Structure 1
Amino acid sequence: MKIKLAESYGFCFGVKRAIKIAENTKNASTIGPLIHNNEEINRLRENFNVKTLHHISEAEGVGKAIIRTHGIPKKDLETLLKSDVQVINATCPYVTKPQEICEKMSTEGYEIVIFGDADHPEVKGVESYAIHGAHVVQSVEELEKVRFKGNKIAVVSQTTRKISEFLEITNFLETRYKEVRVFNTICNATFENQDAARELAKEADVVIVIGGKNSSNTKQLHSICKEYCKDSFLVESEKDLDPSWFVGKTLCGVTAGASTPDWIIEKIVGKISEIKV
C-alpha cells in the first residue's frame, strides 16, 4: 500500500506562533487549551511546564498567563490585564481580525452575523466584541429564523469553516437585505489544507485525517474527505488506527489539521507503514 501526504497539511501560522510563544515563556499557564491537540498540550506541559487553566478565575496567583490561539471573551481579557498576572497574548492574528471587525461594524450600527459554532471558543471570543450581541448561525436554515431589526448587516466567519457554506450564508443575506457587508475571515491555511485534502481524497481509497477530535478545522477536513472517499478516518494518535481500515487498499492518503505537529504525523505515518495489508 502506498502512503501519500496531502500537498498542504498540519501546523498553520497561528499555531506555530502560539507554540513558539509557549516554549519561550515556560512555567506559564494558558487560558483554555492553547490549541486543540491533546498530544501537543501534554508535550508543552511535560517539557516546558506550561499548564492549562479552564477559566480566568483559576489565574489568581499565576505569574504568567498565555491567551489561547482562539482568543477569549473581551471582558475576560480586560479582567486579566487589570490583574497582577503578566498576560502574553497568543491569539492568532487571523482570529483577532473578526474580533476587530465585529467591534467596528457594531459601533457603526450594523447587526452582526457570525457563521460558526456558537459553542466554539473562537466564536465566543469574536461574539463578545459585538457591542449589541451577534447572531451566530451554522446554516441557512438557522439564518431563516433570525429576525433582524434593520437592513444593515455585517457578516464574518469562524476562521476554519468551509468557504462553500459561508457563500450560502452571504448569498442568502445579499438577496434579502439592503446593505450587507461581507468579510471573508476564513484563514488562508484553512483554504489550502481543505483544497489539498479534497484532491487527495479523490484519488485515495482510504484517508487518515490526523488531529484533535475537538478541533473544528480537523473535523472540517474529515468531512471534506468523507465526501470523496467514504473510508476516511479521524485519529488523534497511532493508538486510534484500526488495521481493518487498510485491508485491500492500495493508496492511503494522509492529511492533518492546523493544530497537528509534525512529530505526531510522522509517528502515525510510521505506524501505518508497518500495517500488513
Structure 2
Amino acid sequence: MKIKMAKNYGFCFGVKRAIQIAEKTKDSVTLGSLIHNPKEISRLQLKFGVKVEENTQAISNGQNVIIRTHGIPKTDLEYLRSQDIQITDATCPYVTKPQQIVESMSKEGYQIIIFGDKTHPEVKGVMSYSTTKPLVISSLEVLKKANVKKKVALVSQTTKQAQNLLQIASYLITHCYETRVFNTICNATFDNQESARELSKEVDIMIIIGGKTSSNTKQLLNIAQQNCPDSYLVEDENDLQHEWFLGKHLCGITAGASTPDWIIDKVKEKILSI
C-alpha cells in the first residue's frame, strides 16, 4: 500500500490562529466549539483548560471568553460586551467578511441571499447581521422555489463549492433586475477542494480526515466520492477499517481545515501498518 497526500490539506489560517489564541488564553471558555474537530477540542481542554459553553447567558462576569472561528450571532456578541467579560475574538477573517457585507447590503435595501446550511453556526452568525430577514438556500433547486426580489445581494458560507455558487449567481443575474455577487468562499477551502478533486482521480481509495460535523470536511468527502467511490471520512485512526483496503494499491489522503497534523500522522501510520 502506497500513500499519496493531497497537494493542499489540513489546518487553514483561521483555525491555526484560533488554536494559537486558545493555547495562549489558558483556562478560558469558548462560546460554542472553537473548531469542528472533537479530538482537538479535547486536547485543548485537557492541556490548556479550555472549556466549551453553548449558552451565552451561562457565562459569568470575570471569565475569559474566546469567540469561535465560525463567529457568533450579533446579539450574543453585544451581550458579552455589556458584561464584565474579557473577550478574545477568534472569528476567522473570512467569516467576518460576509458578516460585514450582509450588514451593509441589507441597509442599502438589498434582499440578502445566503448560500449555506441554515443550521451551521457560521451561517447563523452571518444571518444575524442582516437588518431584514435573509433568504438562506442550500442549493439552486431551493432557490428556484423561493420568493426572490428584484434587488438581491448574494454571499456564501465559506466552505461551499465554487461551481455551485456560480450556478446560483448565474440564475440570479438572469432573474433579477440587480444582483450583487460576493465570493466569500475561503481561498484555503477552494485550494483544498481542488487538491482533493485532482487526487481522487488517481487513487484506488481516498481517506478524508476530519470532524464528522465539519462542513468543509463533508464537502471534501463529497468531491472525492465523485471520482473515487471508495472514499471514507474518519475522525482518527480508530475509524479505519481493514476491509476498505483489500485489493487497493494507492491510498490518497486529505484532511479538513480543522484537522491537526498529529491526527493526520496517526492515520498515515495506521494505514501503512495494514
1:266 paired residue number: 265
Is residue 224 of structure 1 aligned with residue 219 of structure 2? no
Query: Matches of 1:62 and 1:145 in 2, distance apart?
Result: 48
Query: Matches of 1:274 and 1:145 in 2, distance apart?
Result: 51
Query: Matches of 2:72 and 2:145 in 1, distance apart?
Result: 28
User: What's the CA shift string for 1:191-212, capped at 9, x where partnerless?
Assistant: 1000000011000000000000
Residues 61, 83 of structure 2: 8 Å contact kept: no
Residues 10, 259 of structure 1: 8 Å contact kept: yes
Query: Matches of 1:91 and 1:37 in 2, distance apart?
Result: 16
Query: Matches of 1:133 and 1:41 in 2, distance apart?
Result: 33
Query: Matches of 2:59 and 2:261 in 1, distance apart?
Result: 31
Query: Alignment partner of 1:133: what SS?
Result: coil
Q: TM-score, normalised by structure 2?
A: 0.99
User: What's the CA shift string for 1:203-245, capped at 9, x where partnerless?
Assistant: 0000000000000000000000000000000000111000000
Change (3 A) 1:270 1:62: farther
Residues 30, 68 of structure 1: 8 Å contact kept: yes
1:59 paired residue number: 59
Q: Which amino acid aligns with 2:74?
A: K
1:141 paired residue number: 141
Is residue 94 of structure 1 aligned with residue 121 of structure 2? no
Q: Which amino acid aligns with 1:236?
A: E
Q: Which amino acid aligns with 1:255?
A: T
> 1:102-251 counterparts in 2 under 5 A?
102-148=102-148, 150-251=149-250
Is residue 16 of structure 1 aligned with residue 16 of structure 2? yes
Q: Which amino acid aligns with 2:183?
A: N
Query: Matches of 1:183 and 1:106 in 2, distance apart?
Result: 14
Query: Alignment partner of 1:227: what SS?
Result: helix
2:7 paired residue number: 7
RMSD: 0.7
1:61 shift after superposition? 4.1
1:46 shift after superposition? 0.4
Q: Which amino acid aligns with 2:177?
A: K
Query: Alignment partner of 1:70: what SS?
Result: coil
Query: Alignment partner of 2:175: what SS?
Result: coil
Query: Matches of 1:72 and 1:142 in 2, distance apart?
Result: 25
Q: TM-score, normalised by structure 1?
A: 0.98
Query: Matches of 1:61 and 1:118 in 2, distance apart?
Result: 31
Q: Which amino acid aligns with 1:251?
A: L
Q: Which amino acid aligns with 2:197?
A: R
1:62 shift after superposition? 5.4
What's the % identity of the aligned pairs?
Answer: 59
Residues 29, 62 of structure 1: 8 Å contact kept: no
User: What's the CA shift string for 1:113-153, capped at 9, x where partnerless?
Assistant: 000000000000000001102000011111122213x4110
User: What's the CA shift string for 1:142-195, capped at 9, x where partnerless?
Assistant: 1122213x4110000000000111111111111110100000000000010000
Query: Alignment partner of 1:200: what SS?
Result: helix
Query: Matches of 2:51 and 2:167 in 1, distance apart?
Result: 40
Q: Which amino acid aligns with 2:118?
A: A
5+ unaligned residues in a row in structure 2: which ranges? Answer: none
Q: Which amino acid aligns with 1:187?
A: C
